Structure 1
Amino acid sequence: MLKGRINKIPVAVGAGLLLFALLGSSILAVKMTGLLDQWTGNGQTQSQFKLTPKQEKSEVLPLVSLPPQARASKLEAIASGSKSLDQQRARYLLASDLIEQKQGEKALKWLEGLDTEYSVLASQISVKRAQAYELMGDKAKAEAAWNAILTNHPTQPVAAEALYALGESNPEYWNQAIAKFPSHPSTHEIIRQRLSKNPKQSALLLVLAKSNPEGQGMGAIRERLVNEFAAQLKPEDWEAIAFGYWETMEYERAAQAYAKAPRTPLTAYRVGRGYQLRGKRIEAKAAYQQLLRDFPDAKETGLGLRRLASLSKSDEAMQYLDLAIKKFPDEAAEALLTKANILEAKGSATSASDARKSVLTQYKTSDAAAEYRWKIAKTMAAARKYKEAWQWAQPITTNNPDSPLAPEAAFWVGRWAAQMGRPKDATAAFEHVLAHYPESFYAWRSAHSLGWNVGDFTTVRDLKPEIVSPQVRPTPPTGSAALKELYQLGQNQSAWTLWQAEFKNRLKPTVAEQFTDGLINLGIGRHQIGINKIWYLSLRDTPEERSQWKDLRQEPAYWQALFPLPFLESIISWSGQRQLNPFLVAGLIRQESRFEPKIRSVAGAKGLMQVMPGTGTWIAEKIQLKDYNLENPDDNIKLGTWYLDHTHQEYSNNSLLAVASYNAGPGNVSKWISKYGFNDPDAFIEMIPFGETKGYVESVFANYWNYLRIYNPEIAQSLAKYSPAQSVVSRQ
């Protein structure tokens, strides 16, 4: 076995995770590709988000992705030229690179007078100047430079860096930093140093808990607050602590903290849900009942009633379900289906049938109606009644276009039409998937069915698609002008530091703020957090937020952020040596680790491709590799691609079986082949009995397809004919 189970949802994923738990288990029906809802526009709507920079003729921005040594000579030529925005950018990048290389004196040359010319980064230039003097060992000039920042930029976040530097000799400066810039990383370092000397400072612990819930070691900070200072905490303090627990999926602790937070429908619901997610049925039921008493009309109560029903015996459950049906239209369809199941178990088949018919008539646009239709359709298909299956599934594509089941249903409508000898209907269905659900696994299957050169399970490993990465970074949709400029210049750490000070709305970020937060996290290599922050935007539920999210989906930068390509050089190199499609390798890595080099599963699998240590030793012996580190990206990809090649060889280069074996092991795959046969790979996937493996296979190939449509011009241009807003590389 190559790997063990790994948490596919990150420890801290931003505000979206809060909505994930609020919305509940229906979200788990999503095939975990990193996508939830489907794009439904026609590509003609004007987006309110403009992430692609204006088409300026910049010589500097395309150099941002290059290593310092590779871009130095070109930057020097531009920096020595006539005055322009490019010249200012080149000077700043050269100075930043030199400071990283600890060459302060050379950096000062490029910084001289730059702050007056390059005003957007004037405060950042002042920091670079102070850092250069420090590298030179000139304490007097460094101190003067830090003081100049306090004089010229007293309210800018860079002042926190100056206060930190000056406070090493005068503690009063550190007091000012804590008071004025509580969320700045320099302030957090000050707090940690003070806590190391005197841990009994609840006020400082609270600053960290409120302003840095995702920071390293914050679990221990929250534990100390709860265990040592509970009597001193106010309700709003408990809410911040609960938020941190919820973000890190410590649901029972979150429930306990939310019980002491300000009483709102949301906090009351999370008390119940937190207990329920940890199997505390009695506590969960009591909390939901309290929610019903305190907030009888809140939307959270409607979902709470369905949760209550799931924790209750049938007669009591029916009462809660009836109340949900009567008072909460958004929950009525799901409640009716649950009620139908209870009635059927009690022998009331007619009443159960009536309840299900109500779902299809009164709530035909609900996800519950789609789920019921799809269940019947699959039953009919299993009995080879393709016409009946088609008739049950086809309305999902029109009545339930935003259901997670819609792309799957549309694809199989096409497959069943083909099996009934209706090729025109089949083609129309496949084109419908490409037009409306271009990011889905079923879009790939539809593209293949239409004859596109996208690979099939037996050919995909051998494809060598062209890869075109964007030359210029997008502009974050929010934040200061300095933040946007730093991000475009690839100054990832500086952008992240500035964003920590600017990002005030952590508990309830706007769509623009959450997307920006995702971009900034991706920039500093926190790929898991960044990807998931962006993905969880799909769970926004107000009309305005969903409209903003759909606008974002029209931007190439959204998809490039959701499907980034870090470690591309190693992926291309080792994929080439193993004769593997690099996009297939990238898709597998994205599913396994979200590109986190040091991630470790519960079973002990390590790194990007989640290689078990024992498997790593076995592979290393095979390839005579004496020295390796599974947390090193290149080493991990070297070993993981060898194993992926090995699983392909075991199954005659069938990538479906190879990927399934990578997840579930060859023994299970062999059993499934023997039991179900393998005449139809799409049908085989539907019959995989391990829900995790079925989702894993679909996710890996959906990832593959998204990398192909995003970074391969040929496929992007073909797809643009059906879904213009999804054309990505063709619009660079």
Structure 2
Amino acid sequence: MLKQLKKNPIPLIAGAGLCAFLAGAMVSAPEIGKSLGQWLKHGNNSPEQISETSKAKSAVYPLVSQSLPERAAKLAEIAQNPRSADRERARYLLASDYIERTQAKKALVLLEGLEKDYPLLAPYILLKQAQAQDLLGEDGKASDLRQKVLKQYPKTAAAVKAIYLIAQPKQQNLAIAQFPSHPLTWEIIRKRLQENPNQPQLQLILAKYAANQPGTVGVLDDLAKGFTLKPEDWEIIATAYWTNNVFDKAADAYAKAPKTPLNLYRTGRGLQVSGKNREKAIATYKQLVQQFPEAQESGTALLRLAEMAKTRQDALPYLNQAIAKFPDAASKALVEKAKIFQGLKDNKSAQQAWQLLISKYSNSDEAAEYRWKIAQEKATAKDYAGAWQWAEPITTNNPTSILAPRAGFWVGKWATLLGKQQEAKTAYEYVISQFPYSYYAWRSAAILGLNVGNFNTVRQLKPEVVPPQRPVPTAGSETFKELYLLGQDRDAWLQWETEFQNKDKPTVAEQFTEGLMQLARGENKLGIDTISKLEDRETPEEQAEYQALSKQSIYWQARYPFPYLQEIEKWSTQRQLNPLLVTALIRQESRFEPKVKSIANATGLMQVLPSTAKWIAPQIKVDSKTINLEDPNDNIMLGTWYLDHTHQQYNNNSLLAIASYNAGPGNVSKWLQTIPTQDPDEFVEKIPFDETKNYVRQVLGNYWNYLRLYNPEISALVGQYSATHPKLPTQ
């Protein structure tokens, strides 16, 4: 969150250490590595380049990202070329653009007969023709065209759009019966419920298919109060409440649903999280363990019972049961068991639990965390060889852990301190190769001397950026994919929602496609979260699917999208800031949501406080009364000014400027006086606010991801490292 700077200058410590730090010198880093140019000469085999299967070949698709005036002439040229394979696409997109600009006659010329030449989108072409006739006041012709859609394409999602616009009750009944997951069907249902709320079957359709839509919780409340429902109905209601994080009501509904392991677990968990009925939560967990002793949920229930036990000794039997019977829960149970013994001063038993954790469950995140804790303790005691020895297995045993790239990077740092320069170089190369998405890959690249920016040079860089082309979605029909690739986001969404019916248990391909669709609709936070959560898939099959997807740039580009590029480029240029650094900070602050507000009322993309906006306005000769913090242009104008200002305060050191943006200049001033500054990486590790420490790493990690994904040179360079497959040196 953006903090207002005080007017008095920040006191800085004099001395070589701090001066070197502010200048960005890597005092403890070896001068090793090849230049960017040297690396680019070594071939171009890059696993992270967009594969042919995900990159659609078309002269029209790349034009989707351009504005209507920019692409008009190019589309017209393709549309008039009878030998172009993209002629029909160009006609459709250009006609859609004309309709957007209310130029209906021009649109109809392009659309005439197109349904025969472009059968994939035939019903949508007829709907476009109807839309154009509406603009011309030809209501009868428009109605005839929509009836034609119903007659010729009754089983397509486009038919629901025709039904909705025709608005005849008999046909609406058909939409409700055949297309319950279509968003326009939901609109039909909502209108009917306004006229007569006493229709539980219609409410259940919204609960099942529109759980994440605004207003659905109110529908659930009405259902739960007023009707006699079957257990299966209660499961639908409970799942919808759970989707909306209304855990107390979800617990009540799950208690009336069929007694499955998942439903029992969620009953107990809902009661526990809401604090509604502790004893009932405990009883429900015990019922789950008793009735379904082999279910995975029972292992988690045992952990919850240990969590809720009155004394530490009471927790031990539950933990022992989890360790004995549930391998997936055992590592968490062992950690809790070790902590209990430590609290009881039984160090021998605690050590036995830790030893079992790292020997039998070495692949668990908990084992990685324990190893990292010991490695840090040894490094603090200057036992760098011991730290190296404890950290190194994390990178191979726990490659998906958030600690793996961190451990690999610090092996390089410790190797340097031990005078082992070649091993350090290999460690940094290993991090770039195996964990190219991480903050520590950027730190490794910087230490290797590559042209990726350092703490003191990032702001000045002006990297070339190639915006992405939309990828072919990994799920959905060919019609949906075509609409999406043509940027017809409203129709693509209606088509996709109709097809995507198993929202509770989506496949990896479906979840990724759902995220792409959310991004296309401007739901940036939701889209990024949906795509990011793919890494949490648990079954071996799903993990394998995720790993295959994560090898492609399309996955990472969806996690690091580029909304508001025009405003970011404009104000970054004016403030002489690296546009990718600004983009990185916006992603961290708001996930590109222009209207989001914090508890402190910080607003929008760069989370600017109203008081800060009022303070900045006269300094940039703007009337504060004219500023709208929810307007992306105004928000980025102010946020970039402040980011420039913090950089000026710290001699253009981005580490300190970003830390100040989050924690305020007073805290940064204090840290500069209390934390050693000889090594910037050590400084980051010792920032006492976990939020700020993570914030610095996340913003600069975001910057690195935008650089490696959208800058051709660095993208190729990272691919070179990935192709070499170095191994982390062992101690």
TM-score by length of 1: 0.89
Q: Deviation at 1:468?
A: 1.2
Q: Deviation at 1:180?
A: 1.8
2:286 equivalent in structure 1: 289
Cα distance between partner residues in 2 of 1:123 and 1:339: 62
Could you list the per-position Cα deviations for residues 361-381 of structure 1 after superposition, in whole angstroms to 9, with x for gaps in the alignment?
222232222111111111111
2:122 equivalent in structure 1: 122
Cα distance between partner residues in 2 of 1:619 and 1:464: 25
Report the residue type matching 2:327 in the other structure: P
Preserved CA contact (<8 Å) 2:48 2:553: no
Report the residue type matching 2:236 in the other structure: A
1:338 equivalent in structure 2: 336
Q: Are residue 480 (structure 1) and residue 482 (structure 2) matched? A: no
Preserved CA contact (<8 Å) 1:365 1:400: yes
Q: How does 1:82-101 map to 2 (within 5 A)?
A: 82-101=82-101
Cα distance between partner residues in 1 of 2:579 and 2:526: 23
Preserved CA contact (<8 Å) 1:50 1:475: no
Preserved CA contact (<8 Å) 2:46 2:720: no
Cα distance between partner residues in 2 of 1:160 and 1:195: 19
Could you list the per-position Cα deviations for residues 499-530 of structure 1 after superposition, in whole angstroms to 9, with x for gaps in the alignment?
11111111111111111111111111111111
Report the residue type matching 2:339 in the other structure: N
Q: Are residue 536 (structure 1) and residue 533 (structure 2) matched? A: yes
Mean Cα deviation higher: 540-549 or 673-682: 673-682
Q: Deviation at 1:661?
A: 1.6
2:270 equivalent in structure 1: 274
Cα distance between partner residues in 2 of 1:262 and 1:675: 59
1:239 equivalent in structure 2: 235
Cα distance between partner residues in 1 of 2:399 and 2:68: 48
Aligned equivalent of 1:455, options 431, 453, 456: 453
Cα distance between partner residues in 1 of 2:59 and 2:79: 11
Corresponding residue SS for 2:86 = helix
Preserved CA contact (<8 Å) 1:47 1:551: no
Q: Are residue 641 (structure 1) and residue 653 (structure 2) matched? A: no
Mean Cα deviation higher: 211-220 or 309-318: 211-220
Q: Deviation at 1:83?
A: 5.0
Cα distance between partner residues in 1 of 2:665 and 2:550: 38
Q: Deviation at 1:562?
A: 1.0
1:298 equivalent in structure 2: 295
Report the residue type matching 2:187 in the other structure: E
Mean Cα deviation higher: 264-273 or 656-665: 264-273
Residues 400 and 165 (structure 1), Cα distance of their counterparts in 2 relative to 1, 3 Å cut: closer
Report the residue type matching 1:388 in the other structure: G
Residues 237 and 592 (structure 1), Cα distance of their counterparts in 2 relative to 1, 3 Å cut: farther
Q: Are residue 131 (structure 1) and residue 131 (structure 2) matched? A: yes
Could you list the per-position Cα deviations for residues 297-345 of structure 1 after superposition, in whole angstroms to 9, with x for gaps in the alignment?
1112112212221221211111011111111122222222221111121
Residues 82 and 455 (structure 1), Cα distance of their counterparts in 2 relative to 1, 3 Å cut: same
Q: Are residue 524 (structure 1) and residue 521 (structure 2) matched? A: yes
Residues 532 and 50 (structure 1), Cα distance of their counterparts in 2 relative to 1, 3 Å cut: farther
Corresponding residue SS for 1:426 = helix
Report the residue type matching 1:302 in the other structure: G
Q: Deviation at 1:50?
A: 6.3
Cα distance between partner residues in 1 of 2:265 and 2:667: 40
Report the residue type matching 1:531 in the other structure: I
Q: What are the ranges of 5 or more consecutive residues in structure 1 without an aligned counterpart? A: 5-42, 727-732
Preserved CA contact (<8 Å) 1:3 1:605: no
Aligned equivalent of 1:322, options 310, 320, 323: 320
1:182 equivalent in structure 2: 180
Report the residue type matching 1:53 in the other structure: K
1:401 equivalent in structure 2: 399
1:662 equivalent in structure 2: 661
Please tell me whether Structure 1 or Structure 2 has the larger radius of gyration of its CA atoms.
2
2:253 equivalent in structure 1: 257
Preserved CA contact (<8 Å) 2:312 2:340: yes
Q: Are residue 686 (structure 1) and residue 650 (structure 2) matched? A: no
Q: Are residue 164 (structure 1) and residue 164 (structure 2) matched? A: yes
Aligned equivalent of 1:513, options 505, 510, 516: 510
Q: How does 1:510-589 map to 2 (within 5 A)?
A: 510-589=507-586
Cα distance between partner residues in 1 of 2:77 and 2:681: 56
Cα distance between partner residues in 1 of 2:669 and 2:85: 62
Preserved CA contact (<8 Å) 1:2 1:611: yes
Cα distance between partner residues in 1 of 2:52 and 2:256: 42
1:66 equivalent in structure 2: 66
Residues 534 and 316 (structure 1), Cα distance of their counterparts in 2 relative to 1, 3 Å cut: same
Aligned equivalent of 1:591, options 588, 592, 599: 588
Preserved CA contact (<8 Å) 1:608 1:637: yes
Preserved CA contact (<8 Å) 1:108 1:132: yes
Mean Cα deviation higher: 433-442 or 393-402: 393-402
Aligned equivalent of 2:500, options 500, 503, 522: 503
Q: How does 1:294-443 map to 2 (within 5 A)?
A: 294-312=291-309, 313-443=311-441
Q: Deviation at 1:547?
A: 1.0
1:2 equivalent in structure 2: 2
Corresponding residue SS for 1:452 = coil
2:675 equivalent in structure 1: 676
Preserved CA contact (<8 Å) 1:60 1:90: yes
Mean Cα deviation higher: 622-631 or 235-244: 235-244
Corresponding residue SS for 2:721 = coil
Could you list the per-position Cα deviations for residues 148-184 of structure 1 after superposition, in whole angstroms to 9, with x for gaps in the alignment?
01110011011111111222xx322222222222221
Q: Deviation at 1:203?
A: 2.5
Q: Are residue 701 (structure 1) and residue 700 (structure 2) matched? A: yes
Cα distance between partner residues in 1 of 2:348 and 2:157: 67
TM-score by length of 2: 0.89
Could you list the per-position Cα deviations for residues 227-273 of structure 1 after superposition, in whole angstroms to 9, with x for gaps in the alignment?
x33x4333333333333333333333333332233222222222233
Residues 725 and 290 (structure 1), Cα distance of their counterparts in 2 relative to 1, 3 Å cut: farther
Q: Deviation at 1:416?
A: 0.6
Cα distance between partner residues in 2 of 1:240 and 1:618: 51
Q: How many residues align?
A: 681
Residues 300 and 316 (structure 1), Cα distance of their counterparts in 2 relative to 1, 3 Å cut: same
Q: Deviation at 1:724?
A: 4.5
Report the residue type matching 2:464 in the other structure: E
Preserved CA contact (<8 Å) 1:48 1:551: no
Corresponding residue SS for 2:450 = coil
